[in-house]
Amino acid sequence: MKLYLLLILQLCISPLCESKQIAITFDDSPRKAEGYFSGPNRAERLIKELKSHEIEQVAFFSNSNKLNAEGIQRLQAYSRAGHIIANHTHNHPDFNKMSLDDYVQNFLLADSKLSQFKGFKKLFRFPFLREGNDNKKRDGMRDALKKHGYINAYITLNNYDWHIETMFQAAIEKGVSVDLERMRKFYVQVMMESIEYYDEMAQANLGRSPKHILLLHEMDISALYVGDLVDELRRKGWEIISPGEAYTDEIAQYQSRRIFPYNPGRIGEIARDRGQKKGLWHETLDKKYLEKRFSEEVLNRNLEN
């Protein structure tokens, strides 16, 4: 018996016993809402889901051009619930198609408009994760972030949750009755596949599981299923941490010298720099692949034929 206990203790001081850590972030808030939920209902549901699943703090990367009365109310509600409001530019430009000067102005405009919120923090998330398609732009934005006291709020766990939302809303609009239980399973399954994939890539390249940052969007499926996703993560041994804590990981200091016109996320950058060329985007980051699975797993099309 004693030996058995000793063995467990030994295992628990090894990295095997440490839980994997993940912070949750939502982009594009206050994102368009006119499908399953109204904007205010989505915000209410999302806050409730986070609270009931004891997720103390997440970050909302927001676009300041959406700050009409309702948009302001939604961000205020997130802020009051203890969450972070952060900068995702004014109107979500593609840095590959915009000059450095215009991009910096866009970022600063968002800074001036978003700083009104109590939960505002100087974290910047690049739209489309595009950090500049030449050295001048990339280094120029790195300098601008530093000058204004910001950090680059990179992500480590990439996915196409926004396309799952598009398929979900399109089905509803067409009058298809979507089985919410199937939808829940599909969402959790697809998200877990991409999370585990990038964690394995991280472990292969870093020799450890870093403090991860999950990219989600402020959407109806997030409000519906983020709690289920968190339940599944915890069931598999993950711990939910705050975004602030996640950015203390040493990979936050990592700066690739490479130009990534299309950025797979921080783990993909590190893997690419170490020589990996294929598989930087997981198979679930593919519209056609997701459409096929949505059709089979949610709409059950394979059984109807």
28 or 220: CB nearest Zn ion: 28
CA gap 133, 218 in Å, rounded = 27
- Closest approach of Cβ 304 to Zn ion, in Å? 35
- Closest approach of Cβ 17 to Zn ion, in Å? 36
124 or 238: CB nearest Zn ion: 124
Beta bridge partners of 27: 61, 217
Task: Please report, in angstroms and rounded to a whole number, the separation of the first and last CA atoms in the chain.
Answer: 58
19 or 128: CB nearest Zn ion: 128
Binding mask 24-43 for Zn ion (x = CB under 5 A): ---xx---------------
Enter the tokens of residue 33: 């809402």
Enter the tokens of residue 216: 């989600």
104 or 216: CB nearest Zn ion: 216
**Nearest-10 Cα torsion for 10, 14, 16, 20:** 130
**CA distances in angstroms from 224 to 107, 175, 207, listed in the order given:** 31, 19, 35
- Closest approach of Cβ 59 to Zn ion, in Å? 13
Give the distance, in angstroms, between the CA of residue 117 and the centroid of all CA atoms in the same chain.
Answer: 21
Enter the tokens of residue 86: 């952060």
**Residue 29 parent element (H or E):** strand 20-29
- Closest approach of Cβ 266 to Zn ion, in Å? 16
Report, in angstroms and rounded to the nearest whole number, the Rg of the chain calculated over CA atoms: 20
- Closest approach of Cβ 248 to Zn ion, in Å? 24
- Closest approach of Cβ 92 to Zn ion, in Å? 6
Binding part of the chain for Zn ion, among 11-19, 20-28, 185-193, 229-237 by CB under 5 A, reads 20-28
Binding mask 91-130 for Zn ion (x = CB under 5 A): ------------------------------------x---
Residue with tokens 């930087």: 280
Binding mask 194-233 for Zn ion (x = CB under 5 A): ----------------------------------------
- Closest approach of Cβ 263 to Zn ion, in Å? 12
CA gap 26, 29 in Å, rounded = 7
Binding part of the chain for Zn ion, among 23-31, 33-41, 116-124, 133-141 by CB under 5 A, reads 23-31
Find all residues with CB under 8 Å of 176, minimum gap 6, and list them: 299
Q: What's the burial of 114, exposed, middle or buried (CB within 10 Å: 0-12/13-18/19+)? A: buried
95 or 187: CB nearest Zn ion: 95
Residue 300 has what DSSP assignment? -
155 or 224: CB nearest Zn ion: 155
Site for Zn ion in 123-182 (CB under 5 A): 127
Q: Residue numbers of the site for Zn ion (CB under 5 A)? A: 27-28, 127
